[in-house]
Chain A
């Protein structure tokens, strides 16, 4: 869990960043999953142009099997599943990335301040993390989502257009999922900062009278980037998975919008002994599985690249 120190001897011909890049590219699996991820993101971004169907327009073609008209078939409202999977993947990735971003923001700030300031504040901040850590996250998320929903909605309606208010559930998911995922990040960052704080270069800067915020943000945080990126890459898939569980509970993305999770939750009901509309579960679940696999392998590759010890 060591980061590649950014402030290092200049004797090495390759910069640590280049070195990491080199190591990453040597890892074929990571490279392939990186490419797969890239392809998925591209597909999700330009996907809607590939299909003539709107993901939310109903039709009389209910439960149509995959065909040339509907590549992945249709669902119970006759909506095109290909369009919906693309749309859902976009939302899922968005939730994963922004949620992880929220967790990054809170976690890094929290951990860095606790670790850098130390003493009583550190103790209090980390006890708070302990407390949150001991709350079952599902209870926390449910309460958060239900109690913030109307507050959020009114607030959004007040500051912006009504269309913004209808996105309130999405914003809630960002906040809620980010809010339960930052704890480990905070712990990791604090540990790193704690050890960096005692390093000679920090002492030297302090002696030079450089302000604490400057030291923290300019000199210490860049040194924890490696660890943070690695952990971030692994947070995204876990948040996507968590959203799918919330969708299963009916607390995920607001219908008629879809996420991969809500599509799978709807598809899971198709696994029954009477009749299986297999496309409704296989495609969303396959897409989710592929995305998460790629994200995980990619994260692993990043770690191997950024953490020279494991090579």
Chain B
């Protein structure tokens, strides 16, 4: 047996040697290893929409502003300063003089114009093109109503000055400028290489890092860009981002010391939340995201607002956040999280079983009698995520309070989304993550013509209020109109039932890692992160 074992061992090692030499040998270890969540679908900043993508792309490309690591507020980036006209419609950005691509060519104001216009072309198929519609004529240009790119509200006055015109005063426009859709991209490379420009080597980037390699399902390695304008403050040289979707695996790798940071809220095992929260290396903070139930208002029985309200009133939010999610989520009576900037809390529906039963009886279903069979649509998950657990709780609450037996219908992600969009559901698990720190990222969603509405609910009065708020310069007045709109949405029409506001989570050992801070938009610039030796 001995010699056979030995030869087996040799064969094993030989196989490895062969394999690793074939792949170019072992590489340098990274300074910092970050577990980043799902594998990015794309790294093209103007196409992407997911959080894991966003976090990688922010390290590679930069716009006029960037998010401050501590507060999450916009701060000067490729633009050193700017002026805003008194009516809030015209921004004049002064682009830094010392900025260059990672390949050495200077970045000039016209690069921004060309980059932004690229987003507005339908063939670019940008998920987030809507975020550019704040620019004057941008939406018309996108829809083809205007053919002349000169009509769009972005112009380079000279190499260093960019003039931006908006449709209406937009309080959060500087935050938008820090968003990946607004970054500057190398148009010469894109014109030459087309859709796959992101895989050119070396990749021409505008941010603090360059892309070393992107091995799908293995890791993304980024490396310090010495030509970055703020390179002096970059705190590390090589960073690896691992695509991991299993919460247990992420935890194991972190505890084993193979990863320094875990920063995806889906990567925390829900059932360990109570223990983890007590650890000094576990960080939780308010995060601008909402978890709620959508009602399909186009179908019986949820075409009746009384039924919708009854279902919303029956939800015991405290039980869900205290017993199920347990990660510091806040029970929410409003759609917009309370920590949102420029926000006055609306009046939502408080938990009220009696009122719920009364409304259901009013609607013709006393004690749930005669209620048609309905189902709660949710996304089926492989990991230990909270969605299924919340669904089980909701089902029990509706059974106990209303006497209605709701079926659960888990579907895999794409089928779930297709059903949601096609209004092929009764009730559905829903969530929304803020794109920027402002109530309108949540409240725009339920405009009649918004593609993310997905409830079938259309109301001209609501549309009117939201449009009016969006056009208001005075921040307090604007917040008041939004409050009126949200109250109308939640109390009067109730196409949704709110459950909780998200909490964000990271793991990292504060004794070993500095330069990463909790902020409500869960944005953590990689260049400020430092590993203490």
List B residues 362-399 near A (Cβ within 8 Å): 372-373, 375, 380-384, 388-389, 391-393, 395-396
Residue of B nearest to A78 (CB): B323
List B residues 255-270 near A (Cβ within 8 Å): 255, 269
CB atoms of B247 and A269 under 8 A apart = yes
Whether A272 contacts B393 in the complex (CB less than 8 A), given A146-B411, A146-B412, A250-B382, comes out as: no
Q: Which of A150, A165, A249, A272 contacts B269 (CB 8 A)?
A: A272
Whether A255 contacts B272 in the complex (CB less than 8 A), given A76-B324, A250-B410, A272-B251, comes out as: no
Whether A274 contacts B382 in the complex (CB less than 8 A), given A58-B392, A166-B407, A255-B391, comes out as: no
CB atoms of B408 and A255 under 8 A apart = yes
CB distance from A63 to the nearest CB of B (A): 8
CB atoms of A255 and B410 under 8 A apart = yes
Residue of A nearest to B383 (CB): A269
List B residues 266-287 near A (Cβ within 8 Å): 269, 271-272, 275-276
A interface, how many residues as a size bin? Answer: 20 to 34
* Across-interface contacts of B409 in A (CB, < 8 A): 254
Q: Which of B271, B382, B388 contacts A255 (CB 8 A)?
A: B388
B196 within 8 A of partner (CB)? no
Interface centre among B248, B372, B381, B424 (most CB of A within 10 A): B248
B415 within 8 A of partner (CB)? yes
Number of B residues whose C-beta is below 8 Å from A?
Answer: 35
Interface centre among B252, B389, B392 (most CB of A within 10 A): B392
Bound: A60/B318 CA distance, A: 13
Whether A254 contacts B275 in the complex (CB less than 8 A), given A165-B373, A166-B373, A269-B247, comes out as: no
CB distance from B191 to the nearest CB of A (A): 39
Per-residue CB proximity of B446-490 to A under 8 Å, as 1/0?
000000000000000000000000000000000000000000000
Bound: A157/B375 CA distance, A: 13
CB atoms of A58 and B393 under 8 A apart = yes
* Across-interface contacts of A251 in B (CB, < 8 A): 380, 412
A62 within 8 A of partner (CB)? yes
CB distance from A304 to the nearest CB of B (A): 31
Q: Which of A56, A62, A157, A249 contacts B382 (CB 8 A)?
A: A249
CB distance from B4 to the nearest CB of A (A): 30
Bound: A124/B252 CA distance, A: 51
CB atoms of B382 and A248 under 8 A apart = yes
Residue of B nearest to A59 (CB): B396
Per-residue CB proximity of A273-290 to B under 8 Å, as 1/0?
111010000000000000
- A interface residues, Cβ below 8 angstroms from B: 56-58, 60, 62-63, 76-77, 142, 146, 149-150, 157, 162-163, 165-166, 248-251, 254-256, 266, 269-275, 277
- Additional A-B contacts beyond A60-B323, A269-B248, A272-B251 (10; CB < 8 A): A58-B396, A166-B373, A166-B375, A249-B382, A266-B384, A269-B269, A269-B383, A272-B252, A272-B272, A274-B275
Q: List 19 A-B pairs, Cβ < 8 Å.
A: A62-B323, A76-B324, A76-B389, A77-B324, A77-B389, A77-B393, A166-B373, A248-B382, A249-B382, A251-B380, A255-B391, A256-B395, A271-B248, A272-B248, A272-B252, A273-B251, A273-B255, A274-B272, A277-B271
